[in-house]
Amino acid sequence: MANAFGATSTTDEVLDGVDLTGKRVLITGVSAGLGVETARALAAHGATVVGAARDLDKARKATAGIPGIELIELDLASLASVRKAADALNAKGDEFDLLINNAGVMACPQGKTADGFETQFGTNHLGHFVFANRIAGLLKSGGRLVSLSSAGHRFANVDLTDPNFETTPYAEFVAYGRAKTANALFAVEFDRRHKARGVRATAVHPGGIQTELGRHMSPELIQGMIDNIAKATPAGAAPFEWKTIPQGAATSVWAGVVAPADAVGGRYCEDCHVAEITGGGTEVLMRGGVQAYALDPENAKALWAKSEEMVGERF
Q: Which residues are catalytic?
A: 149, 176, 180
Nearest Cα residue to 286 out of 195, 175, 206, 207:
207
Burial class (CB in 10 A: 0-12, 13-18, 19+), 275: buried
Short-list 28, 117, 102, CA closest to 306: 117
Q: Identify whether the C-beta of residue 161 lies closer than 8 Å to the C-beta of residue 189.
A: no
Would you call 158 exposed, middle or buried from its count of C-beta atoms within 10 A (0-12, 13-18, 19+)? Answer: buried
- Indicate the SS3 state at residue 71: strand
CA dist 123 and 282 (Å) reads: 23
CB environment 176-202: b (16+ within 10 A), e (fewer): bbbbbbbbbbbbbbbbbbbeeeebbbb
Tell me how far apart the alpha carbons of residues 44 and 46 are, in angstroms, rounded to a whole number: 6
- Tell me, what amino acid is at 285? L
Beta bridge partners of 204: 148, 269
